[in-house]
Amino acid sequence: MARVVVLGGGVAGHTTATFAAKWLGSQHEVVVVTPNSKWNWIPSNIWVGVGQMTKDEVTFDLAPVYQKAGIEFKQAKAVSINPEGNESSNKPFVTIEYTIAGKAGQTENVEYDYLVNATGPKLNFAATPGLGDANGLGEFTVSVCTADHAVHANDELQKSIEKMKKGQRQKFLIGTGHGMCTCQGAAFEYIFNIEHELRKAGVRDMADMKWISNEAFLGDFGMGGLHMKVGGYVVSSKLFAESLFSERGVDWLIGAHVNKVEAGKAHYELLDGSMGEEDFDFSMLIPPFAGVGLKAYNKTGEDITATVFAPNGFMKVDADYTPKPYAEWKASDWPRTYQNPSYKNMFAAGIAFAPPHIISKPMSSVNGTPINPTPPRTGMPSGIIGKAVAHSVCDLIKNGDKAHLHEASMAEMGAACVASAGKGVFSGTAAAMTVYPVVPDFEKYPGTGRDTDYTFGEIGLAGHWIKHILHYLFIYKAKLNPGWTLIPE
Amino acid sequence: MEKKVVHEELNFQRDDKMNLTMIPGKFARSMRTCLIWQFIRFVIINIKMIIVVGKSH
Protein backbone atom coordinates (compact mmCIF):
# COMPACT_ATOMS: atom_id res chain seq x y z
CA MET A 1 0.00 0.00 0.00
CA ALA A 2 1.33 3.43 -0.95
CA ARG A 3 0.56 6.66 0.82
CA VAL A 4 0.11 9.92 -1.05
CA VAL A 5 0.24 13.03 1.11
CA VAL A 6 -1.18 16.23 -0.36
CA LEU A 7 -0.27 19.48 1.36
CA GLY A 8 -3.07 21.97 0.85
CA GLY A 9 -6.80 21.76 0.17
CA GLY A 10 -7.30 24.58 -2.31
CA VAL A 11 -8.07 24.18 -6.01
CA ALA A 12 -4.81 22.35 -6.85
CA GLY A 13 -4.59 20.24 -3.69
CA HIS A 14 -8.27 19.32 -3.64
CA THR A 15 -8.17 18.34 -7.31
CA THR A 16 -5.05 16.23 -6.82
CA ALA A 17 -6.36 14.49 -3.72
CA THR A 18 -9.83 13.74 -4.99
CA PHE A 19 -8.66 12.35 -8.34
CA ALA A 20 -5.87 10.35 -6.68
CA ALA A 21 -8.36 8.83 -4.24
CA LYS A 22 -10.74 7.97 -7.07
CA TRP A 23 -8.07 6.40 -9.29
CA LEU A 24 -6.17 4.59 -6.53
CA GLY A 25 -9.22 3.22 -4.72
CA SER A 26 -9.00 1.76 -1.25
CA GLN A 27 -5.77 -0.14 -1.97
CA HIS A 28 -3.75 2.98 -1.32
CA GLU A 29 -3.95 5.88 1.09
CA VAL A 30 -4.49 9.55 0.27
CA VAL A 31 -3.93 12.05 3.08
CA VAL A 32 -4.72 15.76 2.86
CA VAL A 33 -2.99 18.17 5.24
CA THR A 34 -4.52 21.63 5.25
CA PRO A 35 -4.85 24.18 8.05
CA ASN A 36 -8.38 25.15 7.05
CA SER A 37 -11.52 23.25 7.93
CA LYS A 38 -13.40 24.70 4.97
CA TRP A 39 -12.97 24.75 1.22
CA ASN A 40 -13.37 28.21 -0.31
CA TRP A 41 -14.39 29.04 -3.87
CA ILE A 42 -12.11 32.07 -3.89
CA PRO A 43 -13.38 33.73 -7.12
CA SER A 44 -16.72 34.40 -5.42
CA ASN A 45 -15.10 36.14 -2.45
CA ILE A 46 -15.48 39.26 -4.58
CA TRP A 47 -19.24 39.03 -4.13
CA VAL A 48 -18.87 38.44 -0.38
CA GLY A 49 -16.77 41.59 -0.29
CA VAL A 50 -19.68 43.68 -1.61
CA GLY A 51 -22.38 41.93 0.39
CA GLN A 52 -23.88 40.01 -2.54
CA MET A 53 -23.02 36.59 -1.09
CA THR A 54 -22.45 35.25 2.39
CA LYS A 55 -19.41 33.38 3.64
CA ASP A 56 -21.48 30.19 3.82
CA GLU A 57 -22.31 30.45 0.12
CA VAL A 58 -18.63 30.34 -0.89
CA THR A 59 -17.33 27.78 1.60
CA PHE A 60 -18.15 24.26 2.80
CA ASP A 61 -16.75 21.84 5.37
CA LEU A 62 -14.01 19.60 4.00
CA ALA A 63 -14.27 16.78 6.56
CA PRO A 64 -17.50 15.15 5.29
CA VAL A 65 -16.36 15.41 1.67
CA TYR A 66 -13.04 13.72 2.41
CA GLN A 67 -14.79 11.08 4.50
CA LYS A 68 -17.02 10.30 1.52
CA ALA A 69 -13.98 10.08 -0.77
CA GLY A 70 -12.00 7.86 1.58
CA ILE A 71 -9.36 10.55 2.08
CA GLU A 72 -7.72 10.98 5.47
CA PHE A 73 -8.03 14.62 6.50
CA LYS A 74 -5.57 16.22 8.87
CA GLN A 75 -6.43 19.79 9.75
CA ALA A 76 -2.89 20.97 10.21
CA LYS A 77 -0.20 23.03 8.57
CA ALA A 78 2.93 21.50 7.13
CA VAL A 79 6.09 22.71 8.81
CA SER A 80 8.95 20.77 7.19
CA ILE A 81 9.78 17.97 4.81
CA ASN A 82 12.35 15.22 5.34
CA PRO A 83 12.54 13.71 1.84
CA GLU A 84 15.25 11.22 2.89
CA GLY A 85 13.73 10.36 6.26
CA ASN A 86 15.90 10.83 9.30
CA GLU A 87 18.70 9.01 11.08
CA SER A 88 16.36 6.36 12.44
CA SER A 89 14.34 5.70 9.27
CA ASN A 90 14.73 5.90 5.51
CA LYS A 91 11.06 6.65 5.06
CA PRO A 92 10.42 10.25 3.93
CA PHE A 93 8.03 12.22 6.07
CA VAL A 94 6.47 15.63 6.49
CA THR A 95 6.17 17.27 9.89
CA ILE A 96 2.81 18.86 10.49
CA GLU A 97 1.35 21.02 13.24
CA TYR A 98 -2.34 20.66 13.97
CA THR A 99 -4.62 23.69 13.82
CA ILE A 100 -7.85 21.92 14.77
CA ALA A 101 -9.33 22.84 18.13
CA GLY A 102 -8.30 20.36 20.80
CA LYS A 103 -5.06 19.39 19.06
CA ALA A 104 -3.80 22.85 18.11
CA GLY A 105 -0.04 23.09 18.33
CA GLN A 106 0.56 19.32 18.45
CA THR A 107 3.04 18.05 15.88
CA GLU A 108 3.21 14.76 14.01
CA ASN A 109 5.49 13.18 11.43
CA VAL A 110 3.42 11.86 8.52
CA GLU A 111 5.30 9.37 6.35
CA TYR A 112 4.70 9.35 2.62
CA ASP A 113 5.57 7.52 -0.55
CA TYR A 114 4.58 10.48 -2.73
CA LEU A 115 4.20 14.08 -1.66
CA VAL A 116 2.28 16.76 -3.52
CA ASN A 117 2.96 20.29 -2.35
CA ALA A 118 -0.14 22.35 -3.11
CA THR A 119 -0.06 24.69 -0.15
CA GLY A 120 -0.95 27.77 -2.14
CA PRO A 121 0.64 31.04 -1.09
CA LYS A 122 1.36 32.80 2.12
CA LEU A 123 -0.41 36.16 1.97
CA ASN A 124 2.67 38.23 2.62
CA PHE A 125 1.09 41.34 4.15
CA ALA A 126 4.30 41.93 6.09
CA ALA A 127 6.15 42.77 2.86
CA THR A 128 4.62 46.26 2.94
CA PRO A 129 4.80 48.15 6.23
CA GLY A 130 1.30 49.01 7.37
CA LEU A 131 -0.41 46.57 5.00
CA GLY A 132 -0.21 43.96 7.72
CA ASP A 133 2.30 41.84 9.56
CA ALA A 134 3.35 38.22 9.88
CA ASN A 135 -0.01 37.49 11.50
CA GLY A 136 -1.97 38.78 8.52
CA LEU A 137 -4.03 41.75 7.43
CA GLY A 138 -3.44 45.12 9.08
CA GLU A 139 -5.94 47.67 10.31
CA PHE A 140 -5.71 50.27 7.53
CA THR A 141 -6.81 48.31 4.46
CA VAL A 142 -9.11 45.40 3.66
CA SER A 143 -8.60 42.26 1.56
CA VAL A 144 -10.74 39.78 -0.35
CA CYS A 145 -8.16 36.97 -0.36
CA THR A 146 -10.09 34.81 2.10
CA ALA A 147 -13.80 34.56 2.85
CA ASP A 148 -13.27 36.07 6.32
CA HIS A 149 -11.32 38.96 4.82
CA ALA A 150 -14.13 39.52 2.34
CA VAL A 151 -16.75 39.62 5.12
CA HIS A 152 -14.64 42.27 6.86
CA ALA A 153 -14.21 44.16 3.58
CA ASN A 154 -17.97 44.32 3.11
CA ASP A 155 -18.49 45.57 6.67
CA GLU A 156 -16.11 48.45 5.96
CA LEU A 157 -17.68 49.08 2.55
CA GLN A 158 -21.14 49.39 4.08
CA LYS A 159 -19.78 51.96 6.56
CA SER A 160 -18.44 54.00 3.65
CA ILE A 161 -21.77 53.75 1.82
CA GLU A 162 -23.58 54.99 4.92
CA LYS A 163 -21.20 57.95 5.14
CA MET A 164 -21.87 58.82 1.50
CA LYS A 165 -25.62 58.64 2.08
CA LYS A 166 -25.09 61.25 4.80
CA GLY A 167 -23.29 63.50 2.33
CA GLN A 168 -19.67 62.64 3.14
CA ARG A 169 -17.44 62.06 0.08
CA GLN A 170 -15.36 58.89 0.10
CA LYS A 171 -12.16 58.01 -1.72
CA PHE A 172 -11.72 54.38 -2.78
CA LEU A 173 -8.24 53.05 -3.53
CA ILE A 174 -8.15 49.50 -4.87
CA GLY A 175 -5.33 47.47 -6.37
CA THR A 176 -2.04 45.86 -5.41
CA GLY A 177 -0.17 46.51 -2.20
CA HIS A 178 3.37 45.82 -3.39
CA GLY A 179 5.50 45.96 -6.53
CA MET A 180 5.65 42.16 -6.82
CA CYS A 181 1.98 41.28 -6.45
CA THR A 182 -0.06 38.95 -8.59
CA CYS A 183 -3.88 38.53 -8.70
CA GLN A 184 -4.58 41.90 -10.32
CA GLY A 185 -7.74 40.25 -11.66
CA ALA A 186 -9.25 39.96 -8.17
CA ALA A 187 -8.62 43.63 -7.47
CA PHE A 188 -9.98 44.49 -10.93
CA GLU A 189 -13.19 42.60 -10.13
CA TYR A 190 -13.47 44.19 -6.74
CA ILE A 191 -13.17 47.79 -7.88
CA PHE A 192 -15.84 47.33 -10.55
CA ASN A 193 -18.14 45.44 -8.21
CA ILE A 194 -17.84 48.28 -5.71
CA GLU A 195 -18.53 50.79 -8.48
CA HIS A 196 -21.62 48.76 -9.48
CA GLU A 197 -22.85 48.60 -5.88
CA LEU A 198 -22.32 52.34 -5.37
CA ARG A 199 -24.46 53.04 -8.43
CA LYS A 200 -27.15 50.69 -7.11
CA ALA A 201 -27.04 52.50 -3.76
CA GLY A 202 -27.38 55.85 -5.53
CA VAL A 203 -24.12 57.24 -4.14
CA ARG A 204 -21.72 56.85 -7.07
CA ASP A 205 -21.43 60.62 -7.44
CA MET A 206 -20.13 60.83 -3.86
CA ALA A 207 -17.22 58.47 -4.57
CA ASP A 208 -13.79 59.09 -6.04
CA MET A 209 -12.38 55.80 -7.27
CA LYS A 210 -8.77 55.04 -8.08
CA TRP A 211 -6.91 51.95 -9.19
CA ILE A 212 -3.30 51.48 -8.12
CA SER A 213 -1.31 48.63 -9.58
CA ASN A 214 2.16 47.26 -10.22
CA GLU A 215 1.25 46.55 -13.86
CA ALA A 216 3.29 48.46 -16.42
CA PHE A 217 0.05 49.01 -18.34
CA LEU A 218 -3.63 48.52 -17.61
CA GLY A 219 -4.75 45.07 -18.71
CA ASP A 220 -1.40 43.36 -18.11
CA PHE A 221 -2.96 41.02 -15.50
CA GLY A 222 0.43 39.42 -14.85
CA MET A 223 0.34 37.77 -18.27
CA GLY A 224 1.97 40.57 -20.22
CA GLY A 225 -1.51 41.50 -21.39
CA LEU A 226 -3.19 39.73 -24.27
CA HIS A 227 -4.27 40.48 -27.80
CA MET A 228 -7.64 39.62 -29.21
CA LYS A 229 -9.60 39.98 -32.41
CA VAL A 230 -12.36 42.59 -32.28
CA GLY A 231 -14.20 44.13 -35.19
CA GLY A 232 -11.60 43.04 -37.71
CA TYR A 233 -8.69 44.35 -35.61
CA VAL A 234 -6.28 42.54 -33.32
CA VAL A 235 -6.00 44.77 -30.27
CA SER A 236 -4.28 44.81 -26.91
CA SER A 237 -6.10 44.23 -23.62
CA LYS A 238 -4.71 47.65 -22.63
CA LEU A 239 -7.22 49.30 -24.91
CA PHE A 240 -10.10 47.39 -23.39
CA ALA A 241 -9.03 47.89 -19.79
CA GLU A 242 -8.54 51.63 -20.29
CA SER A 243 -11.90 51.79 -22.00
CA LEU A 244 -13.68 50.13 -19.08
CA PHE A 245 -11.95 52.32 -16.50
CA SER A 246 -12.85 55.44 -18.48
CA GLU A 247 -16.42 54.33 -19.03
CA ARG A 248 -16.91 53.77 -15.30
CA GLY A 249 -15.04 56.94 -14.30
CA VAL A 250 -12.30 55.10 -12.41
CA ASP A 251 -8.92 56.83 -12.38
CA TRP A 252 -5.76 54.71 -12.52
CA LEU A 253 -2.14 54.76 -11.41
CA ILE A 254 0.06 52.03 -12.83
CA GLY A 255 3.66 50.95 -12.44
CA ALA A 256 3.30 51.59 -8.71
CA HIS A 257 5.05 49.83 -5.86
CA VAL A 258 3.13 50.55 -2.66
CA ASN A 259 5.90 50.72 -0.06
CA LYS A 260 4.05 51.88 3.04
CA VAL A 261 0.48 52.17 4.27
CA GLU A 262 -0.78 54.36 7.07
CA ALA A 263 -4.24 55.27 8.27
CA GLY A 264 -5.92 56.75 5.20
CA LYS A 265 -2.74 57.02 3.15
CA ALA A 266 -0.71 54.79 0.82
CA HIS A 267 2.85 55.69 -0.13
CA TYR A 268 4.23 54.48 -3.43
CA GLU A 269 7.17 54.52 -5.82
CA LEU A 270 6.61 54.69 -9.57
CA LEU A 271 8.64 53.23 -12.42
CA ASP A 272 10.11 56.67 -13.15
CA GLY A 273 11.55 56.65 -9.62
CA SER A 274 9.24 59.33 -8.27
CA MET A 275 7.59 58.89 -4.89
CA GLY A 276 4.03 59.80 -4.08
CA GLU A 277 1.15 59.22 -1.74
CA GLU A 278 -2.53 58.62 -2.20
CA ASP A 279 -5.20 59.35 0.39
CA PHE A 280 -8.11 56.99 0.88
CA ASP A 281 -11.15 56.40 3.02
CA PHE A 282 -11.52 52.77 1.90
CA SER A 283 -8.75 50.68 0.45
CA MET A 284 -8.42 47.07 -0.68
CA LEU A 285 -4.84 46.24 -1.58
CA ILE A 286 -3.86 42.70 -2.58
CA PRO A 287 -0.73 41.52 -0.73
CA PRO A 288 2.19 39.86 -2.52
CA PHE A 289 2.39 36.08 -2.38
CA ALA A 290 5.26 34.01 -0.99
CA GLY A 291 5.80 30.35 -0.27
CA VAL A 292 4.34 29.21 3.04
CA GLY A 293 7.80 28.85 4.56
CA LEU A 294 8.22 25.07 4.47
CA LYS A 295 11.67 23.86 5.51
CA ALA A 296 13.44 20.78 4.19
CA TYR A 297 16.04 18.61 5.91
CA ASN A 298 18.16 15.71 4.70
CA LYS A 299 18.75 12.45 6.50
CA THR A 300 21.34 13.93 8.84
CA GLY A 301 19.13 16.87 9.72
CA GLU A 302 21.02 19.33 7.54
CA ASP A 303 18.90 22.18 6.16
CA ILE A 304 18.34 21.60 2.41
CA THR A 305 15.57 24.17 2.00
CA ALA A 306 17.56 26.00 -0.68
CA THR A 307 17.84 22.75 -2.67
CA VAL A 308 14.13 21.98 -2.61
CA PHE A 309 12.67 25.48 -2.68
CA ALA A 310 13.37 28.66 -4.65
CA PRO A 311 14.30 31.78 -2.65
CA ASN A 312 10.67 32.95 -2.75
CA GLY A 313 9.62 29.80 -0.89
CA PHE A 314 7.96 28.04 -3.81
CA MET A 315 9.01 24.48 -4.64
CA LYS A 316 11.44 23.86 -7.49
CA VAL A 317 10.07 21.64 -10.23
CA ASP A 318 11.13 20.67 -13.76
CA ALA A 319 11.40 24.28 -14.97
CA ASP A 320 14.51 25.90 -16.42
CA TYR A 321 15.58 28.24 -13.63
CA THR A 322 18.71 29.46 -15.42
CA PRO A 323 18.72 33.27 -15.09
CA LYS A 324 18.47 34.85 -18.54
CA PRO A 325 17.36 38.13 -20.08
CA TYR A 326 13.78 38.70 -21.17
CA ALA A 327 14.69 38.40 -24.85
CA GLU A 328 15.81 34.81 -24.26
CA TRP A 329 12.77 33.62 -22.32
CA LYS A 330 11.08 30.66 -23.97
CA ALA A 331 7.89 28.70 -23.49
CA SER A 332 10.07 25.66 -22.87
CA ASP A 333 11.38 27.29 -19.66
CA TRP A 334 8.07 26.43 -18.04
CA PRO A 335 7.59 23.12 -16.19
CA ARG A 336 5.72 20.22 -17.74
CA THR A 337 5.45 17.52 -15.04
CA TYR A 338 5.89 19.54 -11.81
CA GLN A 339 8.23 16.87 -10.42
CA ASN A 340 10.92 18.07 -8.03
CA PRO A 341 14.31 17.58 -9.70
CA SER A 342 16.04 16.41 -6.50
CA TYR A 343 13.39 14.09 -5.11
CA LYS A 344 11.36 12.30 -7.75
CA ASN A 345 8.53 11.38 -5.38
CA MET A 346 7.75 15.05 -4.72
CA PHE A 347 5.60 17.26 -6.90
CA ALA A 348 4.24 20.79 -6.61
CA ALA A 349 0.93 22.00 -8.01
CA GLY A 350 -0.83 25.34 -8.33
CA ILE A 351 0.70 28.42 -6.77
CA ALA A 352 3.14 26.27 -4.77
CA PHE A 353 5.45 25.58 -7.73
CA ALA A 354 8.26 28.01 -8.45
CA PRO A 355 7.82 29.60 -11.89
CA PRO A 356 11.03 29.97 -13.93
CA HIS A 357 10.46 33.70 -14.31
CA ILE A 358 7.61 36.14 -14.59
CA ILE A 359 5.40 36.33 -17.70
CA SER A 360 5.12 40.11 -18.02
CA LYS A 361 8.08 42.08 -19.26
CA PRO A 362 10.36 42.65 -16.25
CA MET A 363 10.39 46.26 -15.08
CA SER A 364 12.06 48.12 -12.30
CA SER A 365 12.10 51.73 -11.23
CA VAL A 366 15.09 53.93 -11.93
CA ASN A 367 15.94 53.38 -8.25
CA GLY A 368 16.21 49.64 -8.95
CA THR A 369 12.97 48.59 -7.26
CA PRO A 370 11.35 45.73 -9.19
CA ILE A 371 7.81 46.69 -10.11
CA ASN A 372 6.15 43.97 -12.14
CA PRO A 373 3.38 41.45 -11.64
CA THR A 374 4.32 37.89 -10.74
CA PRO A 375 2.69 35.12 -12.80
CA PRO A 376 -0.88 34.04 -12.02
CA ARG A 377 -1.16 30.30 -11.34
CA THR A 378 -4.65 30.17 -9.89
CA GLY A 379 -7.98 28.80 -11.05
CA MET A 380 -8.05 26.73 -14.21
CA PRO A 381 -4.25 26.23 -14.48
CA SER A 382 -4.16 25.11 -10.83
CA GLY A 383 -6.90 22.56 -11.42
CA ILE A 384 -5.36 21.21 -14.63
CA ILE A 385 -1.90 20.95 -13.04
CA GLY A 386 -3.40 19.25 -9.97
CA LYS A 387 -5.13 16.67 -12.13
CA ALA A 388 -1.98 16.00 -14.21
CA VAL A 389 0.06 15.51 -11.03
CA ALA A 390 -2.58 13.13 -9.64
CA HIS A 391 -2.36 11.19 -12.90
CA SER A 392 1.43 10.97 -12.67
CA VAL A 393 1.46 9.89 -9.04
CA CYS A 394 -1.18 7.21 -9.65
CA ASP A 395 0.74 5.87 -12.66
CA LEU A 396 3.98 5.81 -10.67
CA ILE A 397 2.26 3.84 -7.92
CA LYS A 398 0.59 1.41 -10.30
CA ASN A 399 3.31 1.03 -12.95
CA GLY A 400 6.53 1.76 -11.11
CA ASP A 401 9.24 4.38 -11.51
CA LYS A 402 9.31 4.16 -15.30
CA ALA A 403 5.70 5.22 -15.67
CA HIS A 404 5.04 8.06 -18.07
CA LEU A 405 4.55 11.37 -16.30
CA HIS A 406 1.61 13.48 -17.39
CA GLU A 407 2.29 16.97 -18.65
CA ALA A 408 0.49 20.27 -18.22
CA SER A 409 2.71 23.14 -19.29
CA MET A 410 1.26 26.60 -18.84
CA ALA A 411 2.82 27.39 -22.21
CA GLU A 412 0.50 24.84 -23.84
CA MET A 413 -2.52 25.39 -21.63
CA GLY A 414 -5.29 27.92 -21.98
CA ALA A 415 -7.29 29.58 -19.26
CA ALA A 416 -10.84 30.79 -19.11
CA CYS A 417 -11.24 33.80 -16.89
CA VAL A 418 -14.45 35.57 -16.03
CA ALA A 419 -13.91 38.86 -14.24
CA SER A 420 -17.07 40.17 -12.67
CA ALA A 421 -17.81 43.86 -13.15
CA GLY A 422 -21.04 43.84 -11.15
CA LYS A 423 -23.56 41.27 -9.91
CA GLY A 424 -27.17 41.09 -11.07
CA VAL A 425 -29.19 38.58 -13.11
CA PHE A 426 -30.27 41.25 -15.57
CA SER A 427 -27.99 44.19 -14.72
CA GLY A 428 -24.70 42.41 -14.01
CA THR A 429 -21.73 42.37 -16.34
CA ALA A 430 -18.46 40.52 -16.50
CA ALA A 431 -15.45 40.39 -18.76
CA ALA A 432 -15.39 36.86 -20.17
CA MET A 433 -11.92 36.04 -21.43
CA THR A 434 -10.00 33.08 -22.65
CA VAL A 435 -6.29 33.12 -23.23
CA TYR A 436 -4.38 30.43 -25.10
CA PRO A 437 -1.76 29.67 -24.05
CA VAL A 438 -1.35 31.32 -20.63
CA VAL A 439 2.39 31.74 -21.15
CA PRO A 440 2.98 33.32 -24.56
CA ASP A 441 4.98 31.26 -27.02
CA PHE A 442 6.53 33.65 -29.52
CA GLU A 443 8.19 30.81 -31.44
CA LYS A 444 4.87 29.16 -32.17
CA TYR A 445 2.79 32.32 -32.40
CA PRO A 446 5.11 35.10 -33.65
CA GLY A 447 3.46 38.46 -33.11
CA THR A 448 1.20 38.18 -30.10
CA GLY A 449 2.66 34.98 -28.59
CA ARG A 450 -0.82 33.50 -28.45
CA ASP A 451 -3.41 31.92 -30.72
CA THR A 452 -5.83 34.75 -31.44
CA ASP A 453 -8.47 32.25 -32.56
CA TYR A 454 -8.73 31.14 -28.94
CA THR A 455 -7.76 34.33 -27.12
CA PHE A 456 -10.70 36.64 -26.80
CA GLY A 457 -12.60 38.81 -24.38
CA GLU A 458 -15.85 40.72 -24.15
CA ILE A 459 -17.93 42.43 -21.52
CA GLY A 460 -21.56 41.70 -20.98
CA LEU A 461 -24.36 40.05 -19.09
CA ALA A 462 -23.44 36.68 -20.63
CA GLY A 463 -20.12 36.82 -18.79
CA HIS A 464 -21.95 37.41 -15.52
CA TRP A 465 -24.21 34.44 -16.14
CA ILE A 466 -21.16 32.28 -16.83
CA LYS A 467 -19.41 33.41 -13.66
CA HIS A 468 -22.55 32.74 -11.63
CA ILE A 469 -22.99 29.28 -13.15
CA LEU A 470 -19.31 28.48 -12.58
CA HIS A 471 -19.77 29.35 -8.90
CA TYR A 472 -22.38 26.63 -8.44
CA LEU A 473 -20.72 24.21 -10.85
CA PHE A 474 -17.31 24.23 -9.15
CA ILE A 475 -18.73 24.03 -5.64
CA TYR A 476 -20.85 21.08 -6.83
CA LYS A 477 -17.73 19.45 -8.27
CA ALA A 478 -15.60 20.16 -5.19
CA LYS A 479 -18.25 18.52 -2.99
CA LEU A 480 -17.82 15.39 -5.15
CA ASN A 481 -21.51 15.26 -5.96
CA PRO A 482 -22.68 12.73 -8.60
CA GLY A 483 -20.99 13.30 -11.96
CA TRP A 484 -18.25 15.55 -10.50
CA THR A 485 -15.58 14.08 -12.75
CA LEU A 486 -17.52 15.18 -15.83
CA ILE A 487 -17.03 18.84 -14.95
CA PRO A 488 -13.67 19.96 -16.36
CA GLU A 489 -11.15 21.84 -14.28
CA MET B 1 -26.24 78.27 -27.81
CA GLU B 2 -27.95 74.95 -27.36
CA LYS B 3 -25.75 72.32 -25.76
CA LYS B 4 -25.61 68.79 -27.11
CA VAL B 5 -24.76 66.67 -24.07
CA VAL B 6 -23.96 63.04 -24.78
CA HIS B 7 -23.79 61.41 -21.39
CA GLU B 8 -21.54 58.55 -22.52
CA GLU B 9 -18.90 60.99 -23.76
CA LEU B 10 -18.55 63.12 -20.63
CA ASN B 11 -15.80 61.01 -19.09
CA PHE B 12 -13.44 61.93 -21.94
CA GLN B 13 -13.00 65.26 -20.19
CA ARG B 14 -12.17 63.80 -16.78
CA ASP B 15 -8.44 63.77 -17.53
CA ASP B 16 -5.93 63.33 -20.33
CA LYS B 17 -5.66 59.56 -19.84
CA MET B 18 -9.38 59.03 -20.31
CA ASN B 19 -9.42 61.46 -23.22
CA LEU B 20 -7.17 59.09 -25.18
CA THR B 21 -9.23 55.93 -24.73
CA MET B 22 -12.29 54.53 -26.44
CA ILE B 23 -15.55 54.70 -24.51
CA PRO B 24 -18.57 52.68 -25.61
CA GLY B 25 -21.59 54.60 -26.78
CA LYS B 26 -25.24 54.06 -25.93
CA PHE B 27 -25.77 51.24 -28.42
CA ALA B 28 -22.70 49.23 -27.37
CA ARG B 29 -23.66 49.61 -23.71
CA SER B 30 -27.25 48.56 -24.28
CA MET B 31 -26.12 45.44 -26.12
CA ARG B 32 -24.19 44.37 -23.03
CA THR B 33 -27.44 43.81 -21.16
CA CYS B 34 -29.75 43.03 -24.12
CA LEU B 35 -31.18 39.65 -23.15
CA ILE B 36 -31.53 38.25 -26.68
CA TRP B 37 -28.05 39.32 -27.78
CA GLN B 38 -26.47 38.22 -24.53
CA PHE B 39 -28.12 34.81 -24.74
CA ILE B 40 -26.53 34.38 -28.17
CA ARG B 41 -23.17 35.54 -26.78
CA PHE B 42 -23.63 33.18 -23.81
CA VAL B 43 -23.86 30.23 -26.18
CA ILE B 44 -20.91 31.39 -28.30
CA ILE B 45 -18.64 32.18 -25.32
CA ASN B 46 -19.43 28.80 -23.77
CA ILE B 47 -18.51 27.00 -26.98
CA LYS B 48 -15.24 28.94 -27.21
CA MET B 49 -14.41 28.23 -23.58
CA ILE B 50 -15.16 24.52 -23.97
CA ILE B 51 -12.77 24.40 -26.94
CA VAL B 52 -10.02 26.11 -24.91
CA VAL B 53 -10.64 23.77 -21.96
CA GLY B 54 -10.49 20.81 -24.33
CA LYS B 55 -7.21 21.99 -25.86
CA SER B 56 -5.72 22.45 -22.38
CA HIS B 57 -6.25 18.91 -21.05
- CATH class name, domain A3-123+289-399: alpha beta
B28 touches chain A (CB under 8 A): no
A230 touches chain B (CB under 8 A): no
How far does the CA of residue A136 sit from the closest CA of chain B (Å)? 35
How far does the CA of residue A114 sit from the closest CA of chain B (Å)? 23
What ipTM does the predicted assembly reach? 0.94
Give the chain A residue nearest B13 (alpha carbons). A246
Cβ-based contacts of A254 with chain B (< 8 Å): none
CA A308, CA A311: separation in Å to the nearest integer? 10
3-state secondary structure chain A: CCEEEEECCCHHHHHHHHHHHHHHHHHCEEEEEECCCEEECHHHHHHHCCCCCCHHHHEEEHHHHHHHHCCEEEEEEEEEEECCCECCECCCEEEEEECCCCCCCCEEEEECCEEEECCCCEECHHHCECCEECCEECCCCECCCCHHHHHHHHHHHHHHHHHHHCCCCEEEEEEECCCCCCCHHHHHHHHHHHHHHHHHCCCHHHEEEEEECCCCCCCCCCCCCCEEEECCEEEEHHHHHHHHHHHCCCEEECCEEEEEEECCEEEEEECCCCEEEEECCEEEEECCEECCCCEEECCCCCECHHHHECCCCCECCCCCCCCCCHHHCCHHHCCCCCECCCCCCEEECHHHECCCCCCCCCCECCCCCECCCCCCCCCHHHHHHHHHHHHHHHHHHHHCCCCCCCCCCCCCCCEEEEEECCCCCCCCCEEEEEECCCCCCCCCCCCCCCCCCCCEEEEEHHHHHHHHHHHHHHHHHHCCCCCHHHCCC
Task: Give yes or no for a contact between B50 and A487, defined as CB atoms under 8 angstroms apart.
Answer: no
Q: Which of B46, B51, B56 sits opposite A384 (nearest CB)?
A: B56
Q: Which of B11, B41, B42 sits opposite A247 (nearest CB)?
A: B11
Contacts of A278 (CB under 8 A, 6+ apart): A173, A210, A212, A253, A265, A266, A268
Cβ-based contacts of B22 with chain A (< 8 Å): 239, 243
Give the chain B residue nearest A413 (alpha carbons). B56
B5 touches chain A (CB under 8 A): no
Angle at A379 between CA A378 and CA A383, to 5 degrees: 105
A488 touches chain B (CB under 8 A): yes
C-alpha of A173 from chain center:
21
Q: What pairing do the DSSP bridges indicate for beta strands A265-270 and A256-262?
A: antiparallel
Contacts of A360 (CB under 8 A, 6+ apart): A215, A216, A220, A222, A223, A224, A225, A372, A373, A375
Q: Which of B32, B46, B52 sits opposite A460 (nearest CB)?
A: B32
CA A175, CA A256: separation in Å to the nearest integer? 10
How far does the CA of residue B1 sit from the closest CA of chain A (Å)? 27
When computed from its CA atoms, the radius of gyration of chain B, rounded to whole angstroms, is: 18
Q: Which of A246, A456, A461 sits opposite B11 (nearest CB)?
A: A246
Give the chain A residue nearest B24 (alpha carbons). A247
How far does the CA of residue A57 sit from the closest CA of chain B (Å)? 24
Q: Which of A242, A243, A488 sits opposite B24 (nearest CB)?
A: A243
How far does the CA of residue B2 sit from the closest CA of chain A (Å)? 25
What residue ranges do the domains of chain A occupy? 3-123+289-399
Cβ-based contacts of A249 with chain B (< 8 Å): 11, 14
- For position A286, what pLDDT does the model report? 96
How far does the CA of residue B27 sit from the closest CA of chain A (Å)? 13
Phi, psi of A345 (to 5 degrees): -95, 15
CA A347, CA A118: separation in Å to the nearest integer? 9
Q: Which of B17, B38, B51 sits opposite A454 (nearest CB)?
A: B51
Q: Is the dihedral of CA A353, A357, A360, A365 positive or negative?
A: positive
How far does the CA of residue A242 sit from the closest CA of chain B (Å)? 6
Q: Which of B24, B38, B39 sits opposite A247 (nearest CB)?
A: B24
B36 touches chain A (CB under 8 A): no
B30 touches chain A (CB under 8 A): no
Q: What pairing do the DSSP bridges indicate for beta strands A456-460 and A136-137?
A: unpaired
Contacts of A372 (CB under 8 A, 6+ apart): A179, A180, A214, A215, A216, A358, A360, A361, A362, A363, A364
Cβ-based contacts of B55 with chain A (< 8 Å): 414, 436, 454
Selected residue of B29, B34, B56 to mutate for chain A interface (largest A Cβ count, 10 A): B56
Q: Across the interface, do B33 and A426 touch by the CB < 8 Å criterion?
A: yes
Residue B57 confidence class, pLDDT cut points 50, 70, 90: confident
Full pLDDT tens readout for chain A, 489 residues: 899 999 999 999 999 999 999 999 999 999 999 999 999 999 999 999 999 999 999 999 999 999 999 999 999 999 999 999 999 999 999 999 999 999 999 999 999 999 999 999 999 999 999 999 988 999 999 999 999 999 999 999 999 999 999 999 999 999 999 999 988 999 999 999 999 999 999 999 999 999 999 999 999 999 999 999 888 899 999 999 999 999 999 999 999 999 999 999 999 999 999 999 999 999 999 999 999 999 999 999 999 999 999 999 999 999 999 999 999 999 999 999 999 999 999 999 999 999 999 999 999 999 999 999 999 888 889 999 999 999 999 999 999 988 999 999 999 999 988 989 889 999 999 999 999 999 999 999 999 999 999 999 999 999 999 999 999 999 999 999 999 999 998
- For position A247, what pLDDT does the model report? 96
